[in-house]
Chain A
């Protein structure tokens, strides 16, 4: 679905697609979400052993040296099945650790011997909890953050700001379930925990300059855009298949033009948003990320919500029930729309940029 540079990468995506269809169908993710830790830890470890978190890492780092576009294509595959568990956090942790040069922890995260969770919200990175740092140890003074998976992981990776200098570092905190309180969110797959950090201690993993934090947030946003693209493709397929089978007035409802055109509109949007989202990962486009990522995020969020909405309508009364998975696609789309910050904030950024063009 995502245009890829060579046949090897196409095959990697196909292999992942087969694996996810077999090992991680949505029903299984939903079941795992009901468990004590809220996800299927062996599955995430299995994904790690397949190399999911080190696809684009260089070979010196134990990675496979494949393209960033491929990482995006794999995120889209995860989006198709609404893959549960902290896979996205683990992936982002690996990518962040690579750029901070924290090789020790990276060596454990890449193969999945350490599962990490980290806050995805932009606010946590722009106004991090405060901590005093000395001798490689950080002592949090105040603050909290929201983690998707606080339990069942081996490390909380939390940004911390120096109360005096404002300089930020990345801190590895040992998970303490007592600090985490579940919050009510949209998603049944991605639990939210409010984590109190006051008095917590941790090891400093690396420095986090402003630029690095913003780059990390762009990385979160662009990969989420790819997740949305995959989810939209899946929901379009399921609505299309249903429209072929469901009969009213003695014929499949998919033969009615009003419905055909609604589905065609999703196809048209998907065809274009996927190219835009994938372009955010191209080396040549990196100088333009400040413009491209907000564009991709806004477009992908809108596509994910509208495609799920169309699918819900096509499924008729059944779409409004718990019997079919369509509603999960809608709910996950609504969650992603708030991460790492509400889509409207990106729109606001684009407003300023669109007016700053000189011939």
Chain B
């Protein structure tokens, strides 16, 4: 923890200085990356998370009682901007920070807060999130993973899918059915389940980009922790909706900043070999540039609303769609531009990021965190008040 009191005014400059000093050894810089692929990558991210924790900025807008700074939400924007600008990695424990911590802060008991929040903040304990199932994706409320009371403790049986970080996670925040099979959103409960146990099998999924970021996870009468229910039994749906909404706004901030930085790299490459880039591609680049700027100011406006204690609500659903479409268009365009610049330009383009992987990975963005079609349904029904189908 820093000796001095946190100050919003000096934060950006202090952060910038700190990043310049700490980051290169851990992770490299945009022009001098030292990062390896997958396995080591995670350990390096954890080191960065811990360094951030040590200096006191891991949970800027968190309550001080749980290791945060009680700083205005806008500081999270400054952190995202500066860290991304410096080439810092995504936070390793992003599910813990983005989903689990808000669930525990909002719905957990005092004992659960004491037990789980600090290890999330310093990445001592990594979390994954068990929501989606093979037959419950868009229709999440139809999930069928079962939780039953055996001798006074809850046991889990079923299957989850598209579970990010489950291969390395210590705990899973899991939604399971505790009501009748057809109880829909009324019979769902949120549990804390340890991942390292005999009853849990994690099987990596080979994705179209050859990464195994998502896994499928099988629960065979898996044990839960003592005091495993977050919130109230059969009321997990409200918790899930609330934390997903929160996650959308914090996650979109990071995603927007990251997209803007990637776009700059592409503009740099396209500008350097401008004679090779046909006008239609320049037009596409302009369109994406406009959308990226619109995203930036929209996220800023949404954060201002959160700062006032309001919720962007449906605005976040809109931004999720706008972002994923922009992300995919950017990936597509990068491959087009890569195809027209001379070989030395390809080297420039391949430097950072790997555009082929960037494009392929972007295809997941309109599917996860609620498909874009589900977002449009929500906008139509709750934002515009159109009648249900």
What are 26 sample pairs from A and B whose C-beta atoms fall under 8 A apart? A236-B384, A240-B384, A244-B387, A252-B386, A252-B387, A254-B380, A255-B388, A255-B389, A260-B377, A263-B384, A264-B376, A264-B379, A267-B318, A268-B318, A271-B318, A272-B298, A272-B318, A275-B300, A276-B290, A295-B293, A354-B282, A354-B286, A355-B267, A355-B270, A355-B277, A355-B282
A359 touches B30 (CB 8 A): yes
A261 touches B285 (CB 8 A): no
Which residues does B use to contact A, with CB under 8 Å? 30-31, 264-265, 267-268, 270-271, 274, 277, 279, 282-283, 285-286, 289-291, 293-295, 297-298, 300-301, 304-305, 314-315, 318-319, 321-322, 373, 375-377, 379-381, 383-389
Excluding A355-B267, A355-B285, 15 further A-B contacts by CB distance (< 8 Å) are A244-B385, A244-B386, A254-B380, A259-B386, A260-B377, A264-B376, A264-B379, A267-B383, A272-B319, A275-B298, A354-B282, A355-B274, A356-B271, A357-B268, A359-B265
- A1 CB to closest chain B CB, in angstroms? 11
| A278 CB-CB contact with B under 8 Å | yes
B295 touches A255 (CB 8 A): no
Instruction: Give chain A's interface residue range (CB within 8 Å of chain B).
Output: 35 or more
Near B by CB (< 8 A), chain A positions 225-240 give: 236, 240
A295 touches B322 (CB 8 A): no
Which residues of B are found within 8 Å of A35, using beta-carbon distances?
A: none
A271 touches B385 (CB 8 A): no
- CB < 8 Å: which of B264, B294, B387 contacts A357? B264
| A350 CB-CB contact with B under 8 Å | yes
A359 touches B268 (CB 8 A): yes
- CB < 8 Å: which of A257, A265, A276 contacts B297? A276
Q: How far apart sit A5 and B167, CA to CA, in the bound complex (Å)? A: 45
Of A273, A299, A355, the most chain B CB neighbours within 10 A belong to A355
A268 touches B282 (CB 8 A): no
Interface SS, B side: helix
| A243 CB-CB contact with B under 8 Å | yes
Query: A276 and B389 in contact (CB under 8 A), knowing A271-B318, A347-B283, A354-B282?
Result: no
Q: How far apart sit A3 and B297, CA to CA, in the bound complex (Å)? A: 11
Q: How far apart sit A351 and B379, CA to CA, in the bound complex (Å)? A: 33
- B7 CB to closest chain A CB, in angstroms? 20
- B275 CB to closest chain A CB, in angstroms? 10
B304 touches A350 (CB 8 A): no
Residue in B closest to A291 when the chains form the complex, CB atoms: B293
| A145 CB-CB contact with B under 8 Å | no
Q: How far apart sit A256 and B381, CA to CA, in the bound complex (Å)? A: 11
B268 touches A267 (CB 8 A): no
Which residues of B are found within 8 Å of A251, using beta-carbon distances?
A: 387
Which residues of B are found within 8 Å of A244, using beta-carbon distances?
A: 385-387
A276 touches B31 (CB 8 A): no
Per CB-CB distance, the 6 closest pairs between chain A and chain B, nearest first, are: A260-B380, A355-B271, A264-B376, A272-B294, A275-B298, A275-B297
| A82 CB-CB contact with B under 8 Å | no
- B250 CB to closest chain A CB, in angstroms? 18
| A146 CB-CB contact with B under 8 Å | no
Residue in A closest to B389 when the chains form the complex, CB atoms: A255
Which residues of A are found within 8 Å of B30, using beta-carbon distances?
A: 359
Q: How far apart sit A119 and B30, CA to CA, in the bound complex (Å)? A: 48
Residue in B closest to A266 when the chains form the complex, CB atoms: B384
A240 touches B265 (CB 8 A): no
Which residues of A are found within 8 Å of B318, using beta-carbon distances?
A: 267-268, 271-272
- CB < 8 Å: which of B274, B380, B387 contacts A261? B380
A295 touches B289 (CB 8 A): yes
Q: How far apart sit A252 and B293, CA to CA, in the bound complex (Å)? A: 37
- B340 CB to closest chain A CB, in angstroms? 13
| A81 CB-CB contact with B under 8 Å | no
B386 touches A359 (CB 8 A): no
Residue in A closest to B298 when the chains form the complex, CB atoms: A275
Near B by CB (< 8 A), chain A positions 2-44 give: 3
| A91 CB-CB contact with B under 8 Å | no
A261 touches B373 (CB 8 A): yes
B386 touches A276 (CB 8 A): no
Which residues of B are found within 8 Å of A295, using beta-carbon distances?
A: 289-290, 293-294
Q: How far apart sit A3 and B277, CA to CA, in the bound complex (Å)? A: 38
A273 touches B294 (CB 8 A): yes
- B380 CB to closest chain A CB, in angstroms? 4
Query: A272 and B295 in contact (CB under 8 A), knowing A350-B289, A351-B282?
Result: yes
B386 touches A263 (CB 8 A): yes
Per-position binary interface string of chain A over residues 72-110, scored 1 when its CB falls under 8 Å from any chain B CB and 0 otherwise: 000000000000000000000000000000000000000
Which residues of A are found within 8 Å of B290, using beta-carbon distances?
A: 276, 295, 298-299, 350
A271 touches B271 (CB 8 A): no
Residue in A closest to B320 when the chains form the complex, CB atoms: A268
